[in-house]
Structure 1
Amino acid sequence: MAERAKPVQPHVSKRAVLPWIGAFLKPYRGKVITAIIFLFIGSLAWLSLGQGVRLMVDEGFLKDNGSRLNEIIMLVIAITALSSSAIFCRFYLMTWLGERVSADIRLKVYDHLLKLSPGFYAKLRTGEVISRFTADSTLLQSVVGSSLSMALRASVTVIGGIVMMAITSFKMTGLVLLAVPMVLGPIFFFGRKVRDLSRKSQDKVGDLGAYVDETLHEIHTVQAYCHEEQDRALFNHRVEAVMDAAKGRIKYRSILISLVMFLSILAIAVVVWVGAHDVMSGAISAGELSAFMFYAVMVAGSVATISEVIGEIQRAAGATERLIELIETPIDIPIVENPLKLTSAVRGELELKDVRFSYSKFDDTSRATELSDGNSLELVDSPEPIHSPEPVESPESDNSHASVANNNEVIRGLNIHIKPGERVALVGASGAGKSTLFELLQRFYVLDSGSIELDGVDIAKLSPQTLRQQYALVPQESVIFATSVLENVRYGRIEASEDDVKQACIAAKADEFITEFSDGYQTYLGERGVRLSGGQKQRIAIARAILADRPILLLDEATSALDAVSEQKVKQALDSLMVGKTTLIIAHRLATVINADRILVLDKGQVVGSGTHAELMQSSELYREFASLQLLTDDK
């Protein structure tokens, strides 16, 4: 049994994380440089306080000089004010940069996600994508805006503190430096562990988000089948998986922080003991020892800050890798560098030449069902249709016939010529390839071989946007967005006026129920149109297609969810809509096929019959079976 296709993720080198973030900071290099300048000013100001401590002890306390002590105190206050002002500027700029970089990353990721085909989203759950898009970018924002700033400040303090310690006492500084490897060792060792475990933890959080998205999306089914208890148990299992993944990360971070703190204080204690003996022997003054202690404490505190922040930075590195994987996912529909142009008046002529296509790498179980169109005529004992096939990437065709022996082909050597303005109905059993044909016409997938031409131009040589602007789609399961009626209808023609929208709704027989809403065309329809009935959703979708006014219509049995009265009204609207337009209809009912200029009977990706209803009743046994089992039955 073949392994189910996994999401294609590019390998991301861990060394690529910082340059990747740096690329987003590059446009704001002025603010980055300014923030670094203020960071240095603040850190150096704090470091200069050590000399203030030395002066207070040697020239104030020990010499009992009150006026000098007052001068030194005023100097300390001035240095503190300067440092605080620098901290404000640095904190503001770094926080702004964190927010800006996070926003830019989200914009870039979303822009890339819009370019990926439906095949990508059939392989990777939407909840997982959302987790990377939101949680991971938020974590990165926190690091760039806060943790990274703290790490840089602490690093400057460590370096500056060591320099000032060396100026004060070279011998004691040498002792401190001997302890540095003991402190840095755990940082590098445990930091690497934290990074790897953080990546695993973020993956588990993504899985959790995907499960929540799935269950809440299908809450009607969950509650209708009283599946709440099982979902609680499954959710609890995923929550515990997140917790288990976090335990290792927490353990290593805790070990890291405690080890660094212990080793730092131990080193300071040893140095103080040596320094105290030097003061008693007269090698250094009490003020110099006090200044050295001040610097040593600052260095130890900064090292502890670095060890604590390093965990957050490593955690963000894991999240960043997930974002890089997402943004570097190859676009599975090749973009033509120099796309061809269509004529200003598209006639709508379609021609399929020996088209072959397969959703490859299925396992045996999924193959039987995933080839289903999800909305086709079913024969007795035919498998239940599945609405979410899992295609994988297919290389651009070279028009070879290497795929002839591929038993997984959904479309097998299809040759169809559709004239401009022709009305063609497609009938066939589940898995015949009807919905797949719709997907291929809009180039959501790449052909294995063959070509599809629109007005004599190979659609592979057009830009996807140019191609898809020629189609108006009315799916069987209408798509309604969480916005107003007005915005839903003009989704395909955003520049349309409100009057244009109303005229389209009147033509689709939708105006009659829209005007009954308290807010009319401004009525918010809820997530996935929960406030509408099935028939109302379909009429909104039809109004959208009418308003788009495109030369080719793709109708996936656009009246299937309507009652008898509404169906008759919408059919009248569709009849006027289809005048002068090339129309392909996935047909389930007799009334649809009778009105078609031509009917194509599909079976296992091939055309096995073509003609009018009367002709096919005489010439096609398969069509007669459809007519008796499905078409005629539905219209009784």
Structure 2
Amino acid sequence: MKVNLFRKKSAKRSRFWTDRDRENVLWFWHSYLKQKTPWLFVVLGMILVQGFVYQQFLSLTENGLRVIFESGELKDLVRVCLMVFLLFVLRGAMSYAVPRLSVWLASDAVLQMRQHLINHLLTLDLKYFERTTPGDIILRVVSQAQDLSHFVGQATVNAVRDAASVVIISSYLIYKSPVLFLTAAIILPVIILIMQKVSDRIKYIQANAENAMGAYMGRIEEMANGMRTVKIAGQEPQERKHLFRATQGIKDLSIRLQAAQAMVLPSVDMVSAVVYVVVIGGGGYMVLSPDYDLDGAAIIAFLLGLALVFDPARQLTQFFVRLQSNLVILESICSLYREKPSIFDREGVVERFDPHADIALEDVTFCYHPENPLFDHLNMTFQGGKTTAIVGPTGSGKTTVLGLLSRLYSIQGGSIEIGSTPIDQIKIANLRSAFSVVSQDIVIFNSSIWENIKYVRPDASDEEIWEAAEAAEIADLIRVRGDAALGPKGSQLSGGQRQRIAIARAFLRSAPILLLDEATSALDQKTEEKIKRAFNRLAKGKTTIIVAHRLSAITHADWIYVLDGGKVVEQGSHADLMQAEGLYSGMYVSQRQGYGR
């Protein structure tokens, strides 16, 4: 999933500042900056000091010039020079303190935002992560958050400083000569026109650049995860081609963005040159004319003041150009917050329920996509304390049933109950704590085997972890590897070793409901027999639900459901189903013949 903030460029020019931009900025202010208002006033005060330093510098410069041109007193000149030096010492101190303080404030604000983003991500449904690439999530939480931190902590504070300098120095210049300043002010409409012209283009290019970067990061993540397949299939040239094309696209967008931004400063410089010529010519005339109370020192100080105004004004235009890019980034981050979970604890949920009771699916309707329903009025019952198996062809919905039981997905109709309590009326944390899961999709972290087992119960004792490892036939490997990391996603382990870590987790968690999703699919027959004996010990007194492709692994089940096309087509014990000579019997015989060959 890409950011996709602008899917195509609108023929109509977008506004420089939209209602959505206003909402996003106000959200950031109220959420992360408003609480720092006292410190922000401190920063503003230091910025104003910097602006007044420039104003006083102009005044002292004018006085110094008069000393040189008129009185010629050396002591007056020394006094002016000393005061100028002290002023710039003060400005230097402010120039050091302002960025230090502002970066600290911005970094703290973005730290809080990142933590809130992580908290929000963890509340979202599994469906969100199934439709969103890791690259897009990383882009928002890492890259875009960092860009926003830099913009708020440095660019925005510098812009406030520049704006204060422009206002303070301009006020002084207006005081000295309103006519000359109004002549210089003709630049303002031109700058506004330039900004309006480039802002839409910058937003459009920035949005496409964010999309391209998200896709690029997602592609790298897919390549890294699928490197085994890439190597075996010899598709390195194809992956190289995809990534090179993506990097070329990012480069082209970066160049286009820089080209759009580069239009601003030369335009401002050209207009500024016209203003300087007009002020020099007009100011010179006013000095020569007896109708105006201006002298050479005043005109020189006025020109110096214009230089001090135009430089921060140029920086301000750059800030507003960069603002367009960062509004796109802020919208990307805010769009993540607009993602709302559909699975959450509603009012009146209970924490206590009987996890040993029967589990019933009654008239359950569910679909991943509205145009492709999976279950339509599905009915199943899993008796408490007994073993129930679910079998069927690929795509029949076996694993989905397990996901519905633990509320990884929301059903569209019907109900799922444990005992007499609907699962959507049970607190999610309490419901899921009742399940131990061994899945074919095993998540292994890049840490030791010991830490991977302990992950499901951080408070477990060493003795409990060793017992779980022994039961899952993984203890010997722990002794061999020690604290060595297992590589990304357990890349240094075999499929069977990864599966035994998952089984050890189930032993350690030892919840009252045991879900086994192809739990022995990666084990050889000899190891499978050992694990099956361990599972029999683990399942004693527990409600066990097994999803299996290998039917020999579920012949001991108390009850077996056969799913096909999202419907229960057969049910009963192994003996009953074999006697019925239906789909289950055919699958079982076919597998036995296949294994026999």
- TM-score computed with the length of structure 1 as normaliser: 0.88
Distance of 2:486 and 2:51 partners within structure 1: 55
What are the Cα deviations for residues 310-361 of structure 1, in whole angstroms up to 9, with x where unaligned? 2222211111111111121121324413322223x63242111111111225
SS at match of 1:409: strand
Unmatched 5+ stretches in structure 1: 363-407
| Equivalent position of 2:347 in the other structure | 337
Structure-1 residue corresponding to 2:20: 13
Q: Conserved in 2, the CA contact under 8 Å of 1:482 and 1:525?
A: yes
Per the alignment, residue 384 of structure 1 pairs with none
Instruction: Give 1:137's aligned residue.
Output: 145
Kept in 1, the 8 Å contact 2:513–2:544? The answer is yes
2:50, 2:165 within 8 Å by CA — same for their partners in 1?
Answer: no
Does structure 1 residue 152 correspond to structure 2 residue 160? yes
Residue 635 of structure 1 and its aligned partner are, at CA, apart by 7.5
Q: Distance in 2 between matches of 1:289 and 1:173?
A: 12
User: For 1:69, which of 51, 74, 77 is the aligned residue?
Assistant: 77
Equivalent residues in 2 for 1:133-282, closer than 5 Å: 133-281=141-289
TM-aligned CA distance change 1:118 to 1:33, over 3 Å: same
Structure 1 letter corresponding to 2:347 = E
1:135 alignment partner AA: S
The secondary structure found in structure 2 opposite 1:583 is: strand
| Structure-1 separation of matches of 2:36 and 2:534 | 54
- Bigger Cα displacement from structure 2, 277-286 vs 36-45: 277-286
For 2:551 and 2:534, the matched residues in 1 are separated by 18
- 2:4 is the counterpart of 1:40: no
Separation (CA, whole Å) in 1 of partners of 2:87 and 2:463: 67
Quickly say closer, same or farther: Cα 1:31–1:348, change in 2 above 3 A: farther
Q: Distance in 1 between matches of 2:553 and 2:357?
A: 21
Q: Match for residue 368 of structure 2?
A: 359
CA distance in 2, matches of 1:361, 1:346: 32
Please say if residues 9 and 325 of structure 1, whose CA atoms lie closer than 8 Å, have aligned partners that are also in contact.
no
Which residue identity is paired with 1:213? E
Tell me the amino acid that sits aligned with residue 488 of structure 1. N
- Contact 2:436 2:513 (C-alpha < 8 Å) held by counterparts: yes
Letter of the 2:25 counterpart = L
Given candidates 46, 57, 64, the residue that maps to 1:49 is 57
8 Å Cα contact 1:452-1:458 kept in structure 2: yes
Measured at CA, do residues 80 and 422 of structure 1 come closer, stay the same or move farther in structure 2, by a change above 3 Å?
same
Contact 1:204 1:238 in 2 (8 A): yes
Residues 1:7 and 1:607: Cα distance change in structure 2 (over 3 Å):
farther
Residue 13 of structure 1: SS of its match in structure 2?
Answer: helix
**Contact residue 199 and residue 324 of structure 2 kept, 8 A:** yes
The equivalences for 1:302-451 within 5 A come to 302-343=312-353, 346-361=355-370, 408-451=372-415
Q: How many Å separate the matches in 2 of 1:550 and 1:607?
A: 27
Share of identical aligned residues, percent?
Answer: 27
Alignment partner of 1:532: what SS?
A: coil
Q: Which moved further from structure 2: 334-343 or 60-69?
A: 334-343
Aligned residues: 583
Q: CA deviation at 1:164?
A: 0.7
Matched AA of 1:133: V
Deviations 1:211-265 (A, max 9, x none): 1111122111112211111112122222222233333322221111211122123
Paired letter, 1:350: I
Q: Distance in 2 between matches of 1:595 and 1:530?
A: 34
Shift of 1:279: 2.1
Over residues 495-538 of structure 1, what are the superposed CA-to-partner deviations in whole Å (9 max), with x where a residue is unaligned? 22333222211121111111011xx1x32111100111111111
Cα distance change, pair 342–634 in 1 and its aligned pair in 2 (3 A): farther
Aligned twin of 2:509: 548
Distance 1:59 1:73 in 2: 11
1:414 maps to a residue whose letter is L
For the pair 1:495 / 2:448, whether they are aligned, the reply is: no
Instruction: Choose the corresponding residue for 2:484, options 496, 501, 523.
Output: 523
Tell me how far 1:572 sits from its aligned partner: 2.0
Q: Distance in 2 between matches of 1:611 and 1:51?
A: 98
**Structure 2 residue identity aligned to 1:252:** A
Distance 1:562 1:12 in 2: 58
Q: Which amino acid aligns with 2:239?
A: D
Q: CA deviation at 1:99?
A: 1.6
CA 620–563 in structure 1, closer or farther in 2 if over 3 Å, else same = same
Query: Which residue matches 2:14?
Result: none
Matched letter for residue 263 of structure 2: I
C-alpha separation in 2, matches of 1:433 and 1:354: 15
Counterpart check, 1:22 vs 2:32? no
User: Offset of 1:98 from its aligned partner?
Assistant: 2.4
Q: After the TM superposition, which parts of structure 1 deviate over 6 Å for at least 4 consecutive aligned residues?
A: 5-12
Residues 194, 314 of structure 1: 8 Å contact kept = yes
State how far apart, in whole Å, the 2-side matches of 1:333 and 1:288 are.
71
Give the letter for the 2:521 counterpart.
Answer: S
Q: Aligned equivalents of 2:377 and 2:469: distance in 1?
A: 40
Say if 1:188 and 1:498 are closer, same or farther in 2 by CA, change over 3 A. farther
2:434 equivalent to 1:470: yes
TM value normalised by structure 2: 0.93
SS of 1:243's partner is: helix
Tell me if 1:82 matches 2:85. no
8 Å Cα contact 1:198-1:315 kept in structure 2: yes
User: 2:523 — aligned with what?
Assistant: 562
| CA deviation vs aligned residue, 1:346-386 (integer Å, no higher than 9, x gap) | 32421111111112256xxxxxxxxxxxxxxxxxxxxxxxx
Instruction: Give the direction of change, closer, same or farther, for the CA distance of 1:635–1:471 in structure 2 (3 Å limit).
Output: farther
What is the alpha-carbon distance in structure 1 between the residues aligned to residue 376 and residue 285 of structure 2?
91
For residue 578 of structure 1, what is the aligned residue in structure 2?
539
Aligned letter for 1:500?
Answer: E
Q: 1:531 to 1:348 in 2, by over 3 A?
A: farther
CA contact (8 A) 1:40 1:153 kept: yes
* Structure-2 separation of matches of 1:340 and 1:632: 50
Amino acid across the alignment from 1:422 = K
